[in-house]
Amino acid sequence: GMRISEFQSIRVGDINFSKGEIIILGKGRKLGRVYFSFNTGVDLQIYITKNRLLPSDYLWRSTVNNGLPYTKKTIRKKTKRAFARCGFKDFTPHQLRHSFATDLIERGATIQDAQHLLRHSSSKTTEIYIHNLQNKINDTYRKLHNEEIY
């Protein structure tokens, strides 16, 4: 659920493996937290070790740019290429935020939970992210009331 600028600026020292969280600098220069699973933590530790990264290093650093983070353009290009290989030709990194929000709500999170995890200052913004779930509201209502779904 990170913004591309948040993703771009992660330093190894921002990662707390024991808590499964990353401290990020969000929109409006606000500090925030994003969370990751145990398996993601293992993958991150392998990546950090393999690339011999120090706590002060950017996690996604450019080898051609003296260790500075990848540019937003490069991140977009790399993710677009990776998703295209999986059959998603018109992918944008921002779609991951929308997918994250949708997944949260489908798994039972409240709008307020999603708002907090996406670091939105207004629930109205969060509602925009989950607009495609409106068709599922009827299904959820019926399921909660043990009614058959048509």
Residue 33 is a catalytic residue: no
**Candidates 19, 30, 81, 94; catalytic one:** 94
Residue 124 is a catalytic residue: no
**Is the separation of the CB atoms in 34 and 19 below 8 Å?**
no
- Concatenated DSSP letters of 60-90: TB-TTTTTPBPPHHHHHHHHHHHHHHTT-TT
**Candidates 19, 27, 78, 124; catalytic one:** 27
Residue 94 is a catalytic residue: yes
Q: Which two tokens stand for residue 55?
A: 């706590």
Residue 47 is a catalytic residue: no
Q: Tally Cβ neighbours within 10 Å of residue 2.
A: 20
The angle formed by the CA atoms of residues 88, 4 and 32, to the nearest 5 degrees, is: 130
Residue 97 is a catalytic residue: yes
User: Which residue shows structure tokens 């509201």?
Assistant: 137
**Candidates 3, 11, 58, 119; catalytic one:** 3
Residue 3 is a catalytic residue: yes
**Candidates 11, 58, 119, 120; catalytic one:** 120
**Candidates 61, 97, 116, 136; catalytic one:** 97
Active site residues: 3, 27, 94, 97, 120, 129
